[in-house]
């Protein structure tokens, strides 16, 4: 099959798949970020059990392979009477795993903050939550834009887990669409190559956005 034949026949499907990959990536990244911040706050809060829980959460989801996580979600949850759609299982896996890495980045970002600033915040009478919200998290975010950019790319690649569950054609993302095409026609390596180009282009776009943000917000020291 030539490239032009491939695109003329499956072009719309690729476009749909690209948009699905973008949608999944954006959704999962936002979710991962939100959970990552919450878990990080737990990991540094004054309440010991919450700190332990936060560390445990990160250790679990940082060290579990995406495929294993997906299997657990797809096969184990129904036994607990929790029924999630296949797509939802992919989303949960692609939120939880990156959220652990998000928290790790934030923790290292916090370590760049001079401890004196924390003392200054306490001495001014800020409460723990005011200090976290106004002094700690903003600085941790500003100093971790580049790793967070890599995390966005990583999240995108994790969403390829969707290719491992049965989905309707209009739900396929860039990896799933390759399986779909190759099960119907002989797209071969070319079918992969199209998706690869779309992945790489998206990654470059994300990288460019990240670098731009980083230049804007990086903290002078």
Partner 1 sequence: MTQRYPAGDVPVIELKNVNKHYGDLHVLKDISLSVRKGEVVVIIGPSGSGKSTLCRTINRLETIDSGQILIEGVPLPEEGRRLAELRSRIGMVFQSFNLFAHMSVLDNMILAPVSVLKKSRREAREEAMRLLERVGVADQAKKLPAQLSGGQQQRAAIARALAMRPRAMLFDEPTSALDPEMIGEVLNVITELAQEGMTMVIVTHEMNFARRVSDRVIFMDGGMIVEENTPEAFFSHPSSQRAVDFLQSIRTPEAL
Q: Residue 116 or 166: which CB sits closer to partner 1?
A: 116
Q: Residue 120 or 204: which CB sits closer to partner 1?
A: 120
Instruction: State the nearest-atom distance from the C-beta of 41 to partner 1, in Å.
Output: 17
DSSP at 78? G
Q: Residue 48 or 168: which CB sits closer to partner 1?
A: 48
Q: Residue 71 or 213: which CB sits closer to partner 1?
A: 213
CA 84 – CA 100 distance, rounded (Å): 22
Instruction: State the nearest-atom distance from the C-beta of 210 to partner 1, in Å.
Output: 18
Instruction: State the nearest-atom distance from the C-beta of 146 to partner 1, in Å.
Output: 16
CA 30 – CA 84 distance, rounded (Å): 20
Instruction: State the nearest-atom distance from the C-beta of 145 to partner 1, in Å.
Output: 13
Q: Residue 138 or 147: which CB sits closer to partner 1?
A: 138
Helical H segments across 63-134, by residue range: 66-71, 86-110, 115-123, 128-131
**How far, CA to CA in Å, does 137 sit from each of 43, 44, 126, 142, 146?**
13, 11, 14, 8, 16
Instruction: State the nearest-atom distance from the C-beta of 107 to partner 1, in Å.
Output: 18
Q: Residue 115 or 166: which CB sits closer to partner 1?
A: 115
DSSP at 46? S
CB contact burial 124-137 (16+ within 10 A = b; e otherwise):
eebeeeebbeebbb
Q: What is the gyration radius of the CA atoms in the chain, in angstroms?
A: 21
Instruction: State the nearest-atom distance from the C-beta of 105 to partner 1, in Å.
Output: 17
3-state class (DSSP) for residue 64: coil
Query: How many helices and strands (H and E) does the chain possess?
Result: 10, 0
Per CB under 8 A, residues contacting partner 1 are 46, 113-114, 116-117, 119-127, 130, 134-135, 138-139, 142, 219-221
Contact 89, 165 (CB under 8 A): yes
């Amino acid at each position: 099959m030539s490239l032009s034949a491939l695109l003329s026949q499956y072009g719309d499907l690729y476009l749909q798949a690209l948009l699905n990959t973008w949608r999944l990536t954006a959704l999962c990244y936002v979710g991962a970020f939100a959970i990552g911040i919450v878990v990080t706050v737990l990991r540094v809060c004054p309440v010991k059990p919450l700190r332990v829980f936060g560390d445990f959460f990160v250790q679990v989801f940082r060290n579990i392979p995406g495929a294993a996580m997906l299997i657990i979600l797809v096969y184990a949850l129904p036994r607990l009477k929790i029924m999630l759609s296949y797509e939802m299982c992919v989303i949960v896996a692609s939120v939880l795993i990156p959220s652990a890495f998000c928290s790790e980045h934030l923790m290292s970002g916090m370590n760049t903050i001079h401890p004196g600033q924390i003392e200054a915040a306490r001495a001014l009478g800020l409460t723990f939550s005011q200090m976290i919200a106004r002094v700690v998290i903003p600085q941790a975010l500003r100093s971790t834009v580049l790793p967070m950019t890599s995390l966005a790319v990583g999240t995108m690649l994790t969403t390829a887990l969707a290719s491992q569950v049965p989905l309707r054609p209009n739900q396929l993302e860039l990896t799933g669409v390759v399986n779909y095409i190759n099960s119907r026609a002989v797209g071969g390596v070319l079918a992969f190559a199209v998706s690869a180009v779309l992945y790489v282009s998206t990654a470059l776009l994300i990288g460019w956005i990240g670098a731009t943000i980083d230049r804007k917000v990086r903290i002078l020291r």
